[in-house]
Structure 1
């Protein structure tokens, strides 16, 4: 995901306020985008669930 410098700064600030890892948020957004234009979005929830379960990307 290509975020502008300002978008990255805002994402990091919001994630810090809410105790969320910005890398994990970017992974979630990338995954949703990957499934966005598929005719059938089978597997999107499983993919998102795996990202959320992963130990990498816990709050800093």
Structure 2
């Protein structure tokens, strides 16, 4: 997956230090560079749309409860 590619993912949002983590069904995890309000979604299943900006880092464009 090249940098700059768009991803639409669904998984569980977890707290993990500087960047929250999205744990997807296949066991993978993405770190999320997210601004704005997201803490009310921690521990819940969410949909995330974002642009890959690092090996496992997504710049979040949209996050919502799934």
Query: What TM bracket, shorter-length normalisation?
Result: under 0.3
Greater length-normalized contact order (CA 8 Å, ≥ 6 residues apart) = 1
Larger radius of gyration: 1
Which has the larger share of helix? 1
TM-score normalised by length of structure 1:
0.20
